[in-house]
Amino acid sequence: MDAPPQRRTELRVDQALPFRTDLEGMRAVAVVLVVAYHAGIPLISGGYVGVDVFFVLSGFLITNHLLSELSRTGSVRVLRFYARRARRLLPAALVVILVTVVVVALVAPPRLVPPVMDDSRASLVFVPNLLFADRATDYLAEDSPSPLLHFWSLGVEEQFYIVWPILLLLLWSITRRAPHLLVPVLGLLVVASFGASVLVTNYNEPWGFFAPWTRAWELGTGALIAALGLHARRIPELLAAFLAWAGLLLIVGSAVMYSDQTVFPGAAAAVPVLGAAAVIVGAQSAGRLGPGGMLSRRPMQFTGRISYSLYLVHWPLLVLPVIGSAMGEPLPLSQSVALAVLAVPVAWALHRGIERPILRSTIVDTPGPRVVLVGSAAAIILSIVAVLGVETAVAARPLATATVAGPPPATESWPLYSEIVPADLRPALADAPADLPSIYSTGCHLGLDATEPTDCTFGDVQAGEVVVLFGDSHAAQWFPAIEAIATSRGLRLESHTKSSCPPFDVEIVTNGVVDTGCAEWREQVIRLLEQSQPDTVVISAFAHYAEFGSRVAVGDRWTEAVKRLVHRLSAGSKVVVIADTPRFPRTPALCLSANVGDASICDFPRERAINEPFAQEQRAAVESAGGQPVDMNDFLCDVDRCGSVMGNLLLYRDQHHIATRVALTLADDLESAIYSPR
């Protein structure tokens, strides 16, 4: 129900904000930065700040509208506001979601369809940002891009739109006897949200990036400008021009200077947010000295007018070809730029055919807000039903041939790849992500937040001879083999593994934040091993941390860290370092689900699957420090390629972890490599 009228206050806001061509131009700046960033244009490495500009503009425009209504009537017609937002945002979004779902069902590997369907349902009920935040913290999550990932920002805005009119009305009611308190209260909310953004981002960047409470301050900054009325005041022209140009420079400068390695949003987001605020405050009063003339040109106005539709369509256009390819590799720059350009006419068609007609339709408006909201809810429900129907149809596709392959040949014949996905594949394609070593379910393999070593022992726990497994998840993947070796030889096995934490003392960045917990855990384990001096320490680690923000985890820094660790432990133990396993651009199970009759399509060149220079440098470092390097990759790859199926054995559970049965099958060969005389 609409809120009851409240007594007017002294706070006045213009009844209707006149259309500002400079702000329409700012929409163009924001969307161009986002599209250029997603297209991979090198100079725009921080173009994601365009979303922050959108947030400030939305907070300003919406709050100005609400305060105008409050100052005139003392109330907010909440249902009418929701209906207007639904008419503005929902139709085009539904079209993009449904078209994307259908295209994904037609071109994507069947195993990739379920997570996209989850994304679509979350987007339809306005919570995609929460889903993506949770998924980003999952170390085992599939690394394929979602064609609906960009809906996270719409989720943040829609959550703001749901809460903000009610909260603003409540604040208005509370401060009606002292209207001058409204602005300080809004300011406190902005400061609190900004503080949360800084704290959460430095602790867990995905939640800092996606959570509404860590983004609210950006919309709140626009709201403060509306409440203060700074945009409506006559500022000296020279000062206004300085503010507007400086604001534009802050936005563009952050888009150029920031990158995927920037810890964002947090404090870094203040730069584009303050830039957008400065443009809002200064551009209207700057006259010819300001950027208003440039922002008001026809190309900028056209782009700003279609900015919502352009934002909706550009990301699926860029991602769907990647999803539809066999290995899911990124597009060349020329192709991504061409698709970004193609997004403009597609967005124009969506704007002219769906967005604008429904927003301006008197037929839609006449029945009133309740009817619009009921119709919107019905459209959402029907869309969810349609998504379920598509998902059911895709689930009926076979994920294997009818051929039974039986066990693979003896490892002496490896690699001997199967040309099909057999009916008796183990693990089955659908079960691959859950094919984890037992130390995951028992709590012996630590997650990202743990800092204290575990006390996990296996094999003959009373034995005098001890073998220790130490490293990250790429050490943990060998646990089934090491446990089998310990059992057969009558050894005591101690396990110390932790996700995203290599045993070598290099700085690791996890989710954009330096992982001090990894360093703390690592040093405690090393000291335990120095004190206990086990007979054998088996070590392994992921070889690609540098690609995920850990810039020093490569080259001389890495090899020196390898030498330090091996030297420290080899004083009292035999130290064995297993080379990293192959890495695919896409989880083989996804590719195989679309190519059950020709598994060779999912093979990947060895020279790209294995970082041979890295492996050679690590081998040399291990040997120079007195350790023993072991390389099992000749069992997994031939001279030219790395396959993914041998007999009825699926070799990988994801992009770069071998399956548990593979580790067990290679146990005898690994034992020979570790314990045979050198």
Domain containing residue 627: CATH number: 3.40.50.1110
Domain boundary among 337, 363, 394: 394
Q: Is 269 helix (H, G, I), strand (E, B) or coil?
A: helix
CB 226 within 8 A of CB 67: yes
Lowest mean pLDDT among 196-205, 264-273, 458-467: 196-205
Cis peptide before 433 (omega within 30 of 0): no
pLDDT at 358: 85
337 and 447 in a common domain: no
Higher-pLDDT residue of 138, 241: 241
Q: What are phi and psi of 463, to 5 degrees?
A: -65, 150
Encode 142-162: b = buried (16+ Cβ within 10 Å), e = exposed.
bebbbbbbbbbbbbbbbbbbb
Looking at the fold, whether 508 and 634 belong to one and the same domain comes out as yes
DSSP summary character for residue 305: H
Q: What percent of the chain has pLDDT over 70?
A: 95
Please give the tally of structural domains in the chain. 2
Could you tell me if 485 and 611 lie in one domain?
yes
Please say which residue of 361, 394, 427 terminates a domain: 394
According to the model, what pLDDT value does residue 260 have?
84
Pair 211, 95 in one domain: yes
In a shared domain, residues 379 and 422: no
- Answer for the pair 164, 212: CB distance below 8 angstroms, yes or no: no
Residues 427 and 373 in one domain: no
Query: Looking at residue 418, what is its pLDDT?
Result: 95
pLDDT 10s digits, 451-496: 999 999 999 999 999 999 999 999 999 999 999 999 999 999 999 9
Query: What element of type H or E holds 578?
Result: strand 574-578
Pair (322, 442) in one structural domain = no
Question: Are 377 and 448 in a shared domain?
Answer: no
Mean pLDDT within 519-541? 97
13 pLDDT more than 70: no
Rg (CA), the chain: 29
Phi-psi map region of 239: left, alpha, beta (phi>0 left; psi -120 to 50 alpha): alpha
Does any domain span residue 402?
A: no
Please indicate, yes or no, whether residues 517 and 571 belong to a single structural domain of this protein: yes
User: What pLDDT digit, counting tens, does each position of 216-251 carry?
Assistant: 999 999 999 999 886 666 788 999 999 999 999 999
In angstroms, rounded to a whole number, what is the distance separating the alpha carbons of residues 349 and 359?
15
The reported pLDDT for the residue numbered 365 is: 66
> What would the pLDDT profile of 385-410 be if each residue is shown by its tens digit?
999 999 999 999 999 999 999 999 99
What's the angle, vertex CA 482, arms to CA 657 and CA 518, rounded to 5? 60
Express each pLDDT in 624-673 by its tens digit. Answer: 999 999 999 999 999 999 999 999 999 999 999 999 999 999 999 999 99
Tell me the one-letter amino acid at 235: I
Shared domain for 140 and 228, answered yes or no, is yes
The H or E element spanning position 385 is helix 369-395
The token duo for 283 is 């551009």
Q: Which of 206, 86, 64 is nearest to 157 (CA)?
A: 86
Q: Is pLDDT above 80 for 512?
A: no
Q: Is residue 252 part of a domain?
A: yes
Cβ–Cβ contacts within 10 Å for residue 490, how many?
12
Which distant-in-sequence residues (6+ apart) come within 8 Å of 515 by Cβ?
A: 448, 500, 501, 508, 509
- Assess whether pLDDT exceeds 70 at residue 11: no
Q: How far apart are CA 475 and CA 504, in angstroms?
A: 12
Nearest to 359 by CA among 90, 154, 88: 88
Provide the domain limits for residue 527. 411-675
- What CA–CA distance (Å, rounded) separates 106 from 102? 6
Q: Are residues 359 and 479 in the same domain?
A: no
In a domain, 12, yes or no: no
Residue 538 lies in a domain: yes
Residue where a domain terminates, one of 394, 428, 445: 394
Token output for 668: 């005898």
User: Is residue 11 in a domain?
Assistant: no
CA 303/CA 35 separation, integer angstroms: 12
In a domain, residue 157? The reply is yes
Whether residue 404 is contained in a domain is answered as: no
* pTM strictly above 0.85: yes
442 and 559, same domain (yes or no): yes
CA 104 to chain CA centroid, Å, is: 19
**Residue 14 is assigned to a structural domain of this protein:** no
β-bridge pairing 513-514 and 509-510: antiparallel
